[in-house]
Amino acid sequence: MHQKPDGDAMGSALGLYHFLVALGSEVTVISPTNWADFLNWMPGVKKVVDFENQREKAKGIIDAAERIFCLDFNVLHRTKHMEQPLAQAKAVKLLIDHHEQPQREAFNYGISDTGKSSTCEMVYDFIIKSGHGGLLNETIAECLYTGLMTDTGSFRFPSTTASVHRMVAHLKDSGLKHTPVHEHIYDNFLENRLRFIGFALLHRMEVLYDYNTALMYITREDLVKYDIKTGDTEGLVNYLLTISGIRFGAIVVDRSEERKWSFRSKGYFDVNAFARRHFEGGGHMNAAGGRSSESLQETVKKFKEVLTEYQIQLQ
């Protein structure tokens, strides 16, 4: 899975894990980095190896593996420090992913389908098409529902097809209790995170009406002051799109190692292309991310400068 795994990365990996274990395989889930606390309820998460924390152990597992499933990323550098060990691994590498422009030569086999809502949906298809759909149970269903729910914005993005709803129906028939999943993911934060959101909306948001764009920047001091952890800023960018007429939302967070951008759009403004072109990133048409090594001030300045090229597209 990609670094700082989200609900879809962790959900698809753990869903596949429980399925392969049920088939009798020996399986380890490795995450390139740590993850948000709101994923810690997930079945099997305690066995996930954090590459940054347990580098030697993880490298040993990667070297010894027969097959490596690469989930919810399609370019090796999205796995940060795992890029080299993955590139050198002798295992057969199988890609299951829904992002644009896969690095084809890095994988032996795979499915890359940008029409899919989530990697969790693709793992579900994989399970069904393998002929072992009978192994679906409440545990696998909880994992796969997590990514399906988070990547579709709780079933509202255009990627929410009839197949997505049919999958939910099947998961429900397999024992899924969906309400606790929503509560674990969305109603499980500390008070400081809500106060931080209030602060950020009040003091760190700029609305650029000429471009139908809203921008938010979070400084390192803000992160310290409100004790903001991995995952606490997730979803913040979506607030920007709740302003009537705003078609492009962008947030940049001053993480210690880099300035991390999240981009979201409504309609036909392609944030994947924008992220690739200007901020070393990528993703999907309506949701993408990127990065910058420049200072927060510099990267915000650059954003505003390049935005001027898109005024017509954003009308």
Footprint on this chain of Mn ion (rule: CB under 5 A)? 8, 72, 119, 151
Residues 6+ apart with CB under 8 A from 262: 236, 237, 250, 251, 252, 253, 287, 288, 289
Partner in contact with 5, chosen from Mn ion, ligand 5GP, none, beta carbon below 5 to 8 Å by kind: none
Cβ pair 91, 66 in contact under 8 A: yes
153 belongs to the binding site for ligand 5GP (CB under 6 A): no
Nearer to ligand 5GP, 103 or 163 (CB): 103
**What is d(CA 211, CA 254) in angstroms, rounded to the nearest whole number?**
24
CB of 102 to ligand 5GP, least distance (A): 10
Q: Where are the alpha helices (DSSP H) in the chain?
A: 7-22, 55-64, 83-88, 119-129, 138-151, 162-173, 178-186, 191-203, 220-225, 236-240, 271-278, 296-307
Residue nearest to Mn ion (CB): 8
What is the SS3 string spanning 209-263? HHHCEEEEEECHHHHHHCCCCCCCCCCHHHHHCCCCCCCEEEEEEECCCCEEEEE
Q: Is residue 255 involved in binding ligand 5GP (CB under 6 A)?
A: no
CA distance 137 to 165: 18
Q: For ligand 5GP, which is the closer residue by CB, 65 or 275?
A: 275
Q: Is 150 in the site for ligand 5GP (CB under 6 A)?
A: no
Is-contact 51 29, C-beta < 8 A?
no
282 binds, among ligand 5GP, Mn ion, none (CB under 5 to 8 A by kind): ligand 5GP
11 makes contact with ligand 5GP (CB under 6 A): no
Placement of tokens 């934060």 in the chain: 189
The yes or no reply on residue 71 touching ligand 5GP (CB under 6 A) is: no
User: Nearer Cβ to ligand 5GP, position 172 or 277?
Assistant: 277
Of 95, 100, 146, nearest to 120 by C-alpha is 146
Nearest distance from C-beta of residue 193 to Mn ion, angstroms: 23
Q: Exactly one of 11, 140, 282, 292 binds ligand 5GP (CB under 6 A); which one?
A: 282
Q: Which is nearer to ligand 5GP, 268 or 315 (CB)?
A: 268
268 close to 233: Cβ distance less than 8 angstroms = no
Q: Is 288 in the site for ligand 5GP (CB under 6 A)?
A: yes
**Least distance CB 153 / ligand 5GP (angstroms):** 11
**Residues binding ligand 5GP: what is the number (CB under 6 A)?**
14
Closest approach, Cβ 12 to Mn ion, in A, equals 7
Q: Are 145 and 120 in contact (CB under 8 A)?
A: yes
Q: Choose the stretch contacting ligand 5GP; rule: CB under 6 A; options: 126-134, 161-169, 220-228, 289-297.
A: 289-297
The one-character DSSP state at 6 is -
Q: Does 247 bind ligand 5GP (CB under 6 A)?
A: no
Q: Half-sphere exposure of residue 271, counting CA atoms within 13 Å on the CB side?
A: 22
C-beta nearest to ligand 5GP: residue: 289
Among 139, 270, 283, 286, binds ligand 5GP (CB under 6 A): 283
Binding site for ligand 5GP (CB under 6 A): 2, 75, 78, 99, 262, 281-284, 287-291
